[in-house]
Amino acid sequence: MKVAQAATIDVVCILLFAVVGRRSHAEASDLLGVLGTAWPFLAGCAIGFVVARAWRRPESLSTSVIVWISTVAAGMLLRLLSGDTAKLPFVIVATLVLGLLLVGWRAGYRAIQRARIRHTSRASAP
């Protein structure tokens, strides 16, 4: 997988998190509102990409965990520094949902790749 593909999927996951979160709190889902909610987590994700050196293996489990933790930790810190809140229930939900999304898509991708390799090796065996 190319790093641009992985980054795009991560951005979509974070935007989805922001849209669903805003809708669940009856907040507007306009572009500026969604970006206002998502930007700290997008910045945290970018930090995670650098820390994990995601350009090497963007789909790896170790990359996914680093990106996930960076997204949540830096995202919460940036929310607080920008004057927003980070109450414990939000931190818990964000950690779980972003983990499911950011680690989950990579786990699914890796499972599909392993299945393809097994299928190809069985098909080529005599």
The number of folded domains in the chain is 1
What is the pLDDT tens value at each position of the chain, 126 positions in all? 899 999 999 999 999 999 999 998 888 778 999 999 999 999 999 999 999 999 999 999 999 999 999 999 999 999 999 999 899 999 999 999 999 999 999 999 999 999 988 877 666 656
Q: Which two tokens stand for residue 89?
A: 């229930």
- What phi and psi values does residue 48 have, to the nearest 5 degrees? -60, -40
Q: How far is CA 66 from CA 24, 61, 87, 96, in A?
A: 27, 9, 23, 14
pLDDT for the residue 123: 63
pLDDT for the residue 124: 64
Structural domain containing residue 71 = 3-124
What is d(CA 93, CA 114) in angstroms, rounded to the nearest whole number?
Answer: 31
pLDDT for the residue 102: 98
User: pTM of the prediction?
Assistant: 0.89
